[in-house]
Amino acid sequence: MKREVKPSAIRGRVQAPPSKSYAQRAIAIAAMADGRSEILYPGSSDDVLAAINVVKQMGARVDVTERGLVISGGLSLPHAALDCGEAGLSIRMFSAVASVFDKPVTLSGKGSLLRRPMNVVEESLRAMGVKCSTNDGYLPLTVHGPVIGGVAEVDGSFSSQVLTGMLIVASYAKDDVRIIVKNLKSRPYIDITLNVMESFGVVAENIGYNEFIVQNGQKYIPRRYVVEGDWSGAAFLLVAGAIGGEVVVDNLEISSPQADRAITEALERAGAIVSYGKQEVTVSKGHLKAFEFDATHCPDLFPPLVSLAAYCMGETKISGASRLIHKESNRAATLRQEFAKLGVKINVEDDLMTISGGGCRSGSVHSHDDHRIAMACAVAATAAEGPVIIGGAGAVAKSWPGFFEDLEKLIEK
Query: Cα separation of 91 and 86, whole Å?
Result: 9
What are residue 242's phi and psi, to 5 degrees?
Answer: -70, -35
Q: Is 300 a catalytic residue?
A: yes
Contact 200, 168 (CB under 8 A): no
Residue 64 three-state SS: strand
Q: What are phi and psi of 266, to 5 degrees?
A: -65, -40
Phi, psi of 32 (to 5 degrees): -80, -20
Cis-peptide, bond into residue 140, ω within 30° of zero: yes
Given the residues 300, 369, 370, 406, select the one marked as catalytic. 300
Give the DSSP H or E segment for 50.
Answer: helix 46-57
DSSP string over 304-319: HHHHHHTTSBSEEEEE
Tell me if 354 sits within 8 A of 346, measured CB to CB: yes
Residue of 88, 116, 110 whose CA lies nearest to 20: 88
Tally of CB atoms within 10 A around 102: 10
CA distance 264 to 254: 10
Give the residue numbers marked as catalytic: 300
